[in-house]
Amino acid sequence: MDIRTVHREGGTVLSVNGRIDTTAAPELDHAILQEIDQGNRKILLDFSGVPYISSGGLRVILATAKKLKNPGDKFGLCSLSPEVFKIMKLAGFTSIFSIYPDEGEALARW
């Protein structure tokens, strides 16, 4: 898995490419934490390159949602594959944070 981080006007976009498995989940956690530590509290995860997410990956996402709940904070996901969307939806995560069709729409709404 690799992560490309881009700072846009509306927020920080982390584009993830690869499976988020037990090895990759801590890497994702670390990358997100790094951004939050630098004061970037509008985080969008672009999952267009993610074909699979493990329960470890789901926990990272929930932990991020927990960290980014202050007024002015934003956290969301975009461009999910059908498989990953299904997991998020059926696990109940879609009621905690927003899922957008793509990066443009997410940042436009922020």
Partner 1 sequence: MPAGDGPLVSLTWQPVPGAPGALIYPLIRKIDVISSNSYVITTPEVILIVDPGGVPEQGEQLSRLIEACREEFDRPVFAFLTHSHVDHFIGIQSNAAFSVQKAVVFAVHHAGALALECGDRTVTQADILQQPLSPMKVGLRLFAPEREDHAGLPASLCFPNGAEITIVQDPAKADSPRLPHEQIRFGNGPALDLYHTPGHSPDSICLRIGNLLFVGDLLFAANPGVAGLTGWSQESLVRSLSGAERLVAERGVTQVCPGHGNVISAGDAARMFSRVRADAQSLSHIAELNRDRAVATAEYATDCMEQVNELFTIMAGRLAYVTYILDELGEAGMAEETAALISSDAIDELLEAFRDFAGEYQKISPSPVPLMLKAAQVMGKLERTFQRNELAGIIDPTLVRRAARLLADYITMLRGFTLPGERQVLDLVPVIEAIVTGLSLPLLSDEEILSGPDDEGAFSRILLSRIGSRPLLDEVECEVVTKDTPLLAWIDRDHFTDLLTYILEDLVGTGAGRIGIRIRKGEEGATITITGILAVTGARKPLTWRFLRGLAERAGGSLVVRQQDGLQSFEFTARAA
Q: Would you give the binding string for partner 1 spanning residues 65-104, x where CB under 8 A is met?
A: xx-------------xxxx-xxxxxxxxx--x--------
Beta-sheet strands, E only, within 53-101: 74-78, 98-100
Q: Which helix (H) or strand (E) holds 26?
A: helix 24-37
Cα 25-43-29 angle, rounded to 5 deg: 20
Residue 105 lies near partner 1 (rule: CB under 8 A)? no
Contact range with partner 1 by CB under 8 A, out of 7-15, 35-43, 51-59, 102-110 = 51-59
Beta bridge partners of residue 100, listed in sequence order = 78
Which of 9-17, 34-42, 56-64, 70-78 is the region at the interface with partner 1 (rule: CB under 8 A)?
56-64
CB 98 within 8 A of CB 71: no
**How many other C-beta atoms lie within 10 A of the C-beta of residue 98?**
14
The interface mask with partner 1, positions 14-43, x = CB under 8 A, is -------xx---------------------
Which range of residues in 5-13, 27-35, 61-69, 102-110 is near partner 1 by CB under 8 A? 61-69
State whether residue 4 is helix, strand or coil. Answer: strand
Residue 21 or 105: the one with the smaller Cβ distance to partner 1 is 21
